[in-house]
Structure 1
Amino acid sequence: MEALRSIPIFVLAGLCEIGGGYLVWLWLKEDKPWWYGLLGGLILASYGVVATWQTSNFARVYATYGGIFIVMSILWSMKFDNYSPDKYDIVGALIALLGVCIIYYAPRQ
């Protein structure tokens, strides 16, 4: 039941972090209008709020976000930047995802 509740929050936070960061990237690196940066900053700030919706402690939550963001960043880049991950990107992302699932979802006493 914990996974059913936490996974959508991880995905929403990932969209805020990656989407907001991408808008700032476009503003600074690809000469998009200033409001891309402003909107990106606001979306990035919302990521900090969404992260607090998780029920676990700070260390596990942020460690898990790291692994999920690795996977989501590759997927985002495939969709929006025409990026093609190689086998090492995929294997590395899967290892990271497995690791964070152990960190976050392993039964504890």
Structure 2
Amino acid sequence: MDLPFTKVLTTFFLFLVTAVMEILGCYFPYLILNQGRSQWLWVPTVLALGAFVWLLTLHPAASGRIYAAYGGIYIFTALLWLRYVDQVSLSRWDLAGGAVVLIGAALIILQPQGVIR
């Protein structure tokens, strides 16, 4: 299996940035609706969700396989968000689950025909 490292890294980075935009698009409304923060946060909400939708168009193909792999990276990113933005310590169950989904995403991304097509 001959996979170009840059393509794998680019795919992972694209998934990671897409996940961050999706999380931001949900986090800002949470701050507005549950924390009483400024209504001006709707502006970055719209920008984040717009970026999220645009980033989805950059993925290698629109298929269930892409979204399955993205889901694993999304979960990993959400756990990082929980730890570093929400300042919540991750449990060993969080860490084990994060490892499982990363392994699952890697299996999908790195399957024999190459990086997701």
TM-score (norm 2): 0.83
In structure 1, the gaps of 5 or more residues are none
Over aligned residue pairs, what C-alpha RMSD do you find?
1.7
Q: 3-state DSSP class of the match of 2:60?
A: coil
Q: Aligned partners of 1:7 and 1:23: how far apart in 2?
A: 24
Ranges of 4+ aligned residues in structure 1 off by more than 6 Å: none
Instruction: Deviation per CA, 1:23-50: give whole Å up to 9, x if none.
Output: 1211111111112133213312311210
Residue 97 of structure 1 deviates from its aligned partner by 1.0
Of 52, 58, 66 in structure 2, the residue corresponding to residue 53 of structure 1 is 58
Identify the residue that residue 70 of structure 1 maps to in structure 2. 75
Higher relative contact order (CA 8 A, sep 6+): 2
The letter for the 2-side match of 1:90 is: L
Which of the two has greater helix per residue? 1
Q: Judge conservation of contact 1:24–1:41 (CA < 8 Å) in 2.
A: no
Identify the residue that residue 26 of structure 2 maps to in structure 1. 21
The letter for the 2-side match of 1:29 is: N
Of 88, 97, 103 in structure 2, the residue corresponding to residue 83 of structure 1 is 88
Q: Judge conservation of contact 1:26–1:32 (CA < 8 Å) in 2.
A: yes
Percentage of matched positions with identical amino acids: 28
Q: How many residues align?
A: 109
Higher CA-based Rg: 2
TM-score (norm 1): 0.88
The letter for the 2-side match of 1:6 is: T
The letter for the 2-side match of 1:3 is: V
In structure 2, the gaps of 5 or more residues are none
Identify the residue that residue 7 of structure 1 maps to in structure 2. 12
Residue 77 of structure 1 deviates from its aligned partner by 1.5
